[in-house]
Amino acid sequence: MKVLVIVAHPNLEESRANRSFMHELSKHEEITVVNLYQKYPDWSIDIEQEQALLLKYDRIVFQFPFYWYSCPPLLKKWFDDVLTYGWAFGSQGDKLKGKEFIIATTAGGTEREFRAGGDNWFTISEYFRPIQATLWKCNGSFLPIFVTYNADAGLDEYISSEARKYVEHIQSSHNAMIK
């Protein structure tokens, strides 16, 4: 299985958890990593290049911090620009059919804060429904989300352990599809 990880973190150098994830990913030559904020500092996304890249992979992972109850703005722009009508969806848009998608996110809050009725009102999975719906619209399969909670305050051992679990999660071929 060919895996592409699209990282979208506006301040990656300041994120212990996401940096740790990147370090762990770098140990696996079979995983390709693209850092959107590094690749597109001017936010001018090369749509054809991104679409061609997606075609080469079976599983696409979007790694980003949970950012104001969603994804960072460059990733939202990437979705809007790259997943076009007639290519990714619509009557002729079948290029992503059969691709598997995973969201991998870090949250500063605890898991307890992200449950129905908790401090943030909803579960983290509920906040990602719009992205999930977008990927379904593109005929993709949405695999379980990987979340590292308490990413800001976690001890180094915890963050390192989460990084290893993250790589295991995205490489696993037996992830159950979410319907």
Integer Rg of the chain from CA: 16
Beta strands 100-106 and 3-7 are unpaired
Distance CA 140, CA 156 (A): 35
Whether the CA torsion 33, 34, 36, 42 is positive or negative: it is positive
Q: Any residues with CB less than 8 A from the CB of 117 and at least 6 apart, and which? A: none
The residues that bridge with 4 in the sheet, in sequence order, are: 32, 60
Exposed/middle/buried for 179, CB within 10 Å: 0-12, 13-18, 19+? exposed
* pLDDT tens-digit readout, 139-149: 999 899 999 99
What domains can be seen in the chain, in order of their start residue? 3-171 (3.40.50.360)
Q: Return the pLDDT at 174.
A: 58
- Residue 138 near residue 96 (C-beta atoms within 8 A): yes
Torsion angle of the four alpha carbons 173, 174, 178, 179, in this order, in degrees rounded to the nearest 10:
100
Residue 56 has which token pair? 């080469």
- Per-residue pLDDT in tens (0 to 9) along the chain, 179 residues: 899 999 999 987 888 899 899 899 989 999 999 999 999 999 999 999 999 999 999 999 999 999 888 899 999 999 999 999 999 999 999 999 999 999 999 998 878 888 887 787 888 888 999 999 999 999 999 899 999 998 887 688 888 899 999 999 999 865 555 54
Q: Any residues with CB less than 8 A from the CB of 71 and at least 6 apart, and which? A: 8, 62, 64, 131
